Amino acid sequence: MDLYTVLENRRSIRKYLPDPVETGTLRKLLEAARLAPSWKNGQCWRFLVIRDPEKRERLAAALPEMNPARKGMAEAPVTIVLCAKPEESERHEGKDYYLLDAGLAMQQLMLAAHAEGLGTCWVAWFDEEKIRRICSVPPEYRIVALTPLGVPARQPSPRGRKPLEEIAFLEEWGRPFN
């Protein structure tokens, strides 16, 4: 699938079919994540792949009830937990680059998943300490995000985006790019 088609059609998927995800496909997705750029090539990311249904239920229960991704997390056959070790990245001028490093890797995984016909959904609203306990994540790692992974039950319609004129400027702040 062409990259622009992937970018245009990816959606946050919150409803899944029970169809399994093959180990070979998971490996491809993790390889896609591994290729991401990072601060000084520190590669602070770690990925936990959770297939065990009981563990996935517990992970879903670590999301607040109000989190719209909660139900889909329990439905999808795989949950991926994105962790990062801040020491393998850097805080530079007040900016924590481990979040950016880990986020880039996760997004690569998510785009690759879409190219494979699989759905994902960024989940960043959860109880970090509960997830740490469920997955035995060591204290030097932060848990940055989770995603369910599986075959989408449906393709949601696109969420709107701000128009280009509002977000892109030419040469100086406020001068529209067009």
Ligand X SMILES: Cc1cc2nc3c(=O)[nH]c(=O)nc-3n(C[C@H](O)[C@H](O)[C@H](O)COP(=O)(O)O)c2cc1C
Q: Which residues lie near ligand X (CB under 6 A)?
A: 11-12, 67-69, 121-125, 159
DSSP 55: H
As a whole number of angstroms, the distance between CA 61 and CA 78 comes to 15
Least Å distance between CB 136 and ligand X?
A: 22
As a whole number of angstroms, the distance between CA 168 and CA 177 comes to 6
Least Å distance between CB 120 and ligand X?
A: 9
- Smaller CB distance to ligand X: residue 46 or 114? 114
Least Å distance between CB 80 and ligand X?
A: 14
Least Å distance between CB 156 and ligand X?
A: 6
Residue 93 CA neighbour count, 13 Å, CB half: 0
- Smaller CB distance to ligand X: residue 17 or 122? 122
Q: Are strands 142-150 and 78-84 parallel, antiparallel or unpaired?
A: antiparallel
- Smaller CB distance to ligand X: residue 15 or 28? 15
Q: What is the DSSP string of 65-92?
A: TT-TTHHHHHHSSEEEEEEE-GGGS-EE
- Smaller CB distance to ligand X: residue 85 or 114? 114
User: Are 147 and 71 within 8 A, CB to CB?
Assistant: no
